[in-house]
Amino acid sequence: MKIAFLGNYPPKACGIGTFTNSLARAVLSNLRATEIRDYAEIIAMEDPADAHAYPVEVTRRIRPRVIQDYRDTAEYLNEGGFDLLVLQHEYGIFGGDDGAYLLHLLDGLRIPLIVTFHTILRNPSLGQRNVLRRIADRAQAVVVMTELARKLLEEVFAVEPQKINVIEHGVPVIQSPDRATLRRQLGWGDRRVLFTFGLLGRGKGIETSIRALPAIVQEFPDTLYVVLGKTHPHVVRDNGEEYREYLEGLAEELGVGPNLRMVSKFASEQELFDCLRAADVYVVPYPNEAQITSGTLAYAVGAGAAIVSTPFWHAQELLQEGRGRLFPFHDHQALARIVTELFHHPTELEEMRNRAAAYGATLLWPRIGRQYLRVFGKARVAFKAFRKPAAARVELPELNLDHLFRLTDDCGLLQHAKYAIPNRTEGYCLDDNGRALFLVGMLLKRGLGNRQRLLRLADTYLAYIYHAQNPDGTFRNFMGYDRRWLEEQGSEDSYGRALWAIGYCLAHPPRAEQRMLMEEIFHRAIGHLDDMRSPRTVAYGVMALSYFLDYKPTDEAMLNLLDRSCNRLLDHYRDSRREGWEWFENYLTYSNAILPLSLYCALRHLSKEELLTVAGQTTEFLVNQTLRDGIISPVGCAAPYVCDGERPRFDQQPVDVMGMVLLFSEACRYQGLQPYGAHLQLAFDWFTGQNEMKATLYNPETGGCYDGLMSSGINHNQGAESLLAYLISRVEMENFYANHLVGEGDGEDPDRALKQLLNGFAIPELAVRGGSRLDKLTGS
């Protein structure tokens, strides 16, 4: 067994670092091993300006703002024999907007992923929501620490319920002397002691506790308020010890300076538990409700402290059933009333301590480690389902690339076929070779097909695109079978489709040498995007830019061009929409779904609510125009469908359905599985007979796809555009089911998967669902 943990790590002084170390040791306590390094490696997030001397188990570091570090780490994990990655996610740890640089690691990761989310927001920004959704999409299991966090993941972030596991924050197994001995050792004597600990910063609300002191001291003059903790490193960097000095000055101003003791120290767990057990009351004065997890609060419960807290989210759950008392945010008078009342009733204080201690026994880290091990087993099962071809799990046709090879020669992909036979008289076009490169990129990213054969295809299609590009960056489109160009400059659509393919393969390159050439092609071409008039061309450009920014997210020029291009699409929408017509043009014609799809793609890099709103409204409009009696019926291409005009039923073309497959798949990221998961399946089913003519367009014998539904029936030719439309749709379904059937695992038992993972590390007397070693460790 070999596990990687990724997050902050001691000696870095922060809560996430402590948690990562505690979790690694908690898992260790359930294994036949003596050191963390025996079964795991730690990958530490480390800012070069805040470097540390790490223990031996830290084998790799990631600089938060260096994208290549994330990519290199993915390769290290893939090639290093690791069984899974356990990631600690918190805002502010990872580089990029809303921590988006982490996605460069996850996009390249090929081992199971478990993510612990330490913060879940009720009202996230668009960027925060999108990044967290993409992380959760890639994970086989996610862990949160409260039931409210589970609810928010489901309702706000649309994370699949079967992925979510609630495992509470652990607390260490620590023995302490009796309270009298502790108080003597700490120098507190018989004084009544209030205690708070944690890294200092203005978000901790300690001024509320200090403002409560005068009323408490008036009744109990011997009261001492101990605040233990260093100032947060980021606060020190920006403002020095200004906040600590402010608190000390406030106490002096209120006449309670002698009753405040501030200890600037990053204490050990033993020291913390000694203080918690010795104190009369542990005070948590956080000023904001939206804290979903508090390690300090969990420690206080674990230590059996009498807790008085503001009603932030974690406190509302953890302090139920009399395990603590709550007071309103910022209300120092209410805090003073509760504390003096408890001081007057020491029996109630003792009962609170006992209730907290009893619940704290269920939070001991060895128990939490065992719960994580069970999640490891679930994730292993889910990953097997994730890696298994979709056709083996759902009713999808087997992937067949025969016709792609049949239509490809040493020049490129031939445009047309007479039935299934390549039609050489029609030659080649940029549109199809661009789409073919996009397809090969998808196949290689997903690990489908023969890699070496696909790389040769990628070389062929890329060579065609490179040859088609004019010196000024524009493209020619059509070439005869005699290898002569038939025009000096191609259509705007062909430009857009070529750019789309190049952008995708820059983000997911078949191999490094191809990426270098593709970047040259991209930079020569992209300058023409502002001059393009067709909304579809702009939409293809938006998708190309979104992929490019996946590759180079800090390129300001490309980000500005993306924003500019999206604004052009929004202008088209504003100019064309009217009551009952939520669209970018006054008509529907071909490749309609590309327009809203591009806005969804742009949301990966632009946090603009209008993009999400317009994408959602236009997607729903397209559904209303194309969903007929439980089947997808794309707008026919015989004539444009003009607003208030008659909708043409035929010709229905595969390329239009491909756009809908891609659109509905992307919409699931932002709008949830309902209803777009069902729409996606209906769109794909159009290829296999769920259409107006009940005709199957995919030909499993040839591997081709018929060229469309005409009013007279099927067009039996099997050209490149239709073939690529089907294959791109088929691979997208593979991706979709890989992400959204996790946890199914074909009925495999997670306990069995865990035992296989543990292998030689399993403790003989430790059953997966029970075990005596834990009882010995925890005294239960």
Per-residue DSSP letters for 457-497? Answer: HHHHHHHHHHHHB-TTS-B--EE-TTS-BS-SS--HHHHHH
CATH says 394-740 is which class?
A: mainly alpha
pLDDT band at 741; cut points 50, 70, 90 = low
Q: Say if residues 41 and 20 touch (Cβ distance below 8 Å).
A: no
Higher pLDDT, 212 or 553: 212
- pTM, two decimals, is 0.73
The b/e string for 139-168 (b: 16+ C-beta within 10 A; e otherwise) is bbbbbbbbebbbebbeebbbbbeebbbebb
CA distance 67 to 268: 34
Q: Say if residues 475 and 494 touch (Cβ distance below 8 Å).
A: yes
Exposed/middle/buried for 674, CB within 10 Å: 0-12, 13-18, 19+? exposed
pLDDT band at 342; cut points 50, 70, 90 = very high
CA distance 60 to 681: 42
Residue with tokens 């023995």, as numbered in its chain: 175
CA distance 50 to 12: 8
Strand partners, 370: none
pLDDT given at position 392 = 46
pLDDT given at position 321 = 94
pLDDT given at position 232 = 83
pLDDT given at position 567 = 98
Give the type of residue at 718: Q
Torsion of CA 442, 445, 449, 453, to 10 degrees: 90
* C-alpha dist (Å) from residue 13 to 18, 21, 263, 551, 677: 8, 12, 15, 32, 44
Q: Say if residues 544 and 521 touch (Cβ distance below 8 Å).
A: no
Residue 135: phi and psi, rounded to 5, are -65, -45
CA distance 708 to 722: 8
Selection from 10-24, 104-118, 559-573 with the highest mean pLDDT: 559-573
Residue 483: phi and psi, rounded to 5, are 75, 20
pLDDT band at 438; cut points 50, 70, 90 = very high
pLDDT band at 1; cut points 50, 70, 90 = confident
CA distance 265 to 259: 19
Average pLDDT over residues 282-304: 94
Mean pLDDT estimate for the chain: 91
First to last CA, the chain: 28
Q: Say if residues 508 and 444 touch (Cβ distance below 8 Å).
A: yes
Reported as a single tens digit per residue, the pLDDT across 394-429 is 678 999 999 999 999 999 999 999 999 999 999 999
pLDDT given at position 267 = 86
Q: Say if residues 372 and 23 touch (Cβ distance below 8 Å).
A: yes
Q: Where in the chain is the domain with CATH 3.40.50.2000?
A: 1-170+364-393+742-780, 179-354
pLDDT given at position 385 = 64
pLDDT band at 740; cut points 50, 70, 90 = low
Question: Is 742 a residue whose pLDDT tops 80?
Answer: no
Residue with tokens 């009202």, as numbered in its chain: 123
Q: Say if residues 127 and 97 touch (Cβ distance below 8 Å).
A: yes
pLDDT given at position 650 = 86
Residues of the chain above pLDDT 90, percent: 73
CA distance 499 to 576: 26
Question: Is 23 a residue whose pLDDT tops 60?
Answer: yes
CA distance 504 to 731: 14
Nearest CA among 591, 721, 613 for reference residue 663: 591
Q: Which of 113-117, 222-226, 470-474, 710-714 has the lowest mean pLDDT?
A: 710-714
pLDDT given at position 399 = 94
pLDDT band at 630; cut points 50, 70, 90 = confident
Average pLDDT over residues 327-348: 97
Kindly report the length of the chain.
Answer: 780
Question: Is 470 a residue whose pLDDT tops 60?
Answer: yes
Question: Is 82 a residue whose pLDDT tops 70?
Answer: yes
Six-digit token string for 761: 């590390």
Question: Is 767 a residue whose pLDDT tops 90?
Answer: no
Six-digit token string for 366: 């060895």
pLDDT band at 266; cut points 50, 70, 90 = confident
Exposed/middle/buried for 267, CB within 10 Å: 0-12, 13-18, 19+? middle
Question: Is 770 a residue whose pLDDT tops 60?
Answer: no
Higher pLDDT, 50 or 105: 105
Reported as a single tens digit per residue, the pLDDT across 648-669 is 888 999 999 999 999 999 998 8
CA distance 306 to 620: 54
Reported as a single tens digit per residue, the pLDDT across 136-191 is 988 999 999 999 999 999 999 989 899 999 999 999 999 999 999 999 999 999 99
Question: Is 774 a residue whose pLDDT tops 80?
Answer: no
Question: Is 389 a residue whose pLDDT tops 60?
Answer: no
Nearest CA among 734, 648, 635, 647 for reference residue 686: 635
The b/e string for 17-30 (b: 16+ C-beta within 10 A; e otherwise) is bbbbbbbbbbbbbb
Q: Say if residues 75 and 108 touch (Cβ distance below 8 Å).
A: yes
Q: Say if residues 356 and 307 touch (Cβ distance below 8 Å).
A: yes
Question: Is 568 a residue whose pLDDT tops 90?
Answer: yes
pLDDT given at position 771 = 38
Q: Where in the chain is the domain with CATH 1.50.10.10?
A: 394-740
3-state secondary structure of 20: helix
CATH says 1-170+364-393+742-780 is which class?
A: alpha beta
Residues of the chain above pLDDT 70, percent: 94
What letter would DSSP give residue 50?
G
What letter would DSSP give residue 646?
P
Six-digit token string for 362: 């269920």
Question: Is 246 a residue whose pLDDT tops 70?
Answer: yes
Reported as a single tens digit per residue, the pLDDT across 571-587 is 999 999 999 999 999 99
> Angle at the Cα of 117 (from 112 to 118), degrees rounded to 5?
145
Higher pLDDT, 768 or 746: 746
Q: Considering only CA atoms, give the Rg of the chain.
A: 31
Higher pLDDT, 606 or 750: 606
Determine what percent of the chain falls in helix, strand and coil, rounding each to the nearest 5. Answer: 55, 15, 35
3-state secondary structure of 245: helix
3-state secondary structure of 432: helix
Q: Say if residues 738 and 390 touch (Cβ distance below 8 Å).
A: yes
pLDDT given at position 763 = 59
| CATH code for the domain defined by 179-354 | 3.40.50.2000
